Amino acid sequence: MHPRRRFSLPLADGRTLALGERTLIMGIINTTPDSFSDGGRLTDPQRAIDAGVQMAADGADVIDVGGESTRPGADAVADKDELRRVLPVIEGLAARLTVPISIDTYKPSVADAALGAGATLVNDISGLRYAPDLATVVARRRAAIVLMHTRGRSREMYKDAVYNEVVDEVLDELRESVAFATGAGVALERIVIDPGLGFAKEAVHTYEVLARLDEFSELGRPLLVGPSRKRFLNRPLGADLPAAEREWATAAAVAAAVLAGAHIVRVHAVREMTQVARVSDEIRKYHRG
């Protein structure tokens, strides 16, 4: 267990997020009818807004709103449909909350509109590989951005899950994303990296990344980790549990991520995972290293 470096992450509205003193909790709001985790429970904007408000009350430090499912096999969504799903939710949350709002998208037009509606952070699962022009939007809006590692599109991502040395290759590809972002005008201090657990990675790859998470500190940027309810959690259980029944397994992965140095964990069950993170943070305090 290594000391966790502290960062100050500037957001689009002029505020900053303090990262490193404790683990921040990012609550997930899926407004998609085909979400892998909740089966479209939050497609109604008011229900999604109420869920986000409850997440903030339960301990969320950031609310992440997404309008396109990125589960393996998912189809892409048109910009206009994604905007129809996310903008009312972002506007409603911005009117009721003080915690920052993130837009989970790789599309430049969606990010631009969401940032105009009150989001301050962009969460890009593609690491700027799907739509490089997103970097221009982020730079112009002076937003923060999460650059996640993946390969290929959601519909066929597992065909690219071939690695000789998974951690080294993921690190190299994240370096490329960071270099592209800064080359397009995004300030380095506004970048967070995410190794992309479960994305274009078989379970064995994901567990190796999670076990060696501390090595990602060499990128010199804060680290977001999203293990919540993902399929890789089933591997050691010897069962094919549905997403809603993977919360205990998620708790183990969240604890491991925090102990390995994650700055932010992205989760569905905010109240429960806040408790996991707080206890894991307390353990970190007593480590002598």
Each residue of 88-97: pLDDT tens digit? Answer: 999 999 999 9
How big is the CA angle at 41 (ends 40 and 44), to the nearest 5 degrees? 95
Amino acid found at 16: T
Cα distance between the two ends of the chain: 7
Res. 184: pLDDT tops 60 = yes
Out of 65-79, 88-102, 149-163, the most confident range is: 88-102
What does pTM read for this prediction?
A: 0.94
DSSP-derived secondary structure letter, 79: H
Res. 168: pLDDT tops 80 = yes
Contact 106, 126 (CB under 8 A): yes
Distance CA 193, CA 191 (A): 7
Output the six-digit token pair for 45.
């904007």
Confidence of residue 287 (pLDDT cuts 50, 70, 90): confident
How far from chain centre, in Å, is Cα 260?
17
Output the six-digit token pair for 260.
């390995």
Which one has a higher pLDDT value, 192 or 70? 192
Output the six-digit token pair for 213.
């998470």
Local structure of 73: helix, strand or coil: coil
Amino acid found at 230: K
Q: In this structure, are strands 224-225 and 264-267 parallel, antiparallel, or unpaired?
A: parallel
For position 131, what pLDDT does the model report? 96
DSSP per-residue codes, 34-51: T-TTTTTTT-SHHHHHHH
Which parts of 31-155 are beta strand (E)? Answer: 62-66, 101-104, 121-124, 144-148
Distance CA 253, CA 68 (A): 24
Region of poorest pLDDT, from 37-41, 67-71, 78-82, 234-238: 37-41
Torsion over CA: 180, 186, 188, 193 (sign) = negative
Distance CA 85, CA 135 (A): 23
Active site residues: 230, 266
How far from chain centre, in Å, is Cα 61?
13
Res. 176: pLDDT tops 60 = yes
CB atoms within 10 A of CB 15: 11
Res. 35: pLDDT tops 60 = no
Structural domains in the chain, CATH included, are 7-285 (3.20.20.20)
Average pLDDT over residues 61-90: 88
Distance CA 186, CA 208 (A): 30
CB atoms within 10 A of CB 40: 13
Each residue of 242-275: pLDDT tens digit? Answer: 999 999 999 999 999 999 999 999 999 999 999 9
Res. 71: pLDDT tops 60 = yes
Which one has a higher pLDDT value, 107 or 76? 107
Nearest-CA neighbor of 42 among 24, 50, 10? 50
Averaged confidence pLDDT in the chain: 93
Amino acid found at 63: I
Residue corresponding to tokens 């689009």: 12
Residue corresponding to tokens 């274009």: 200
Average pLDDT over residues 54-63: 98
Which residues is 191 bridged to in the sheet?
A: 145
Nearest-CA neighbor of 119 among 136, 153, 142, 135? 142
Average pLDDT over residues 182-195: 98
Output the six-digit token pair for 62.
């950031």
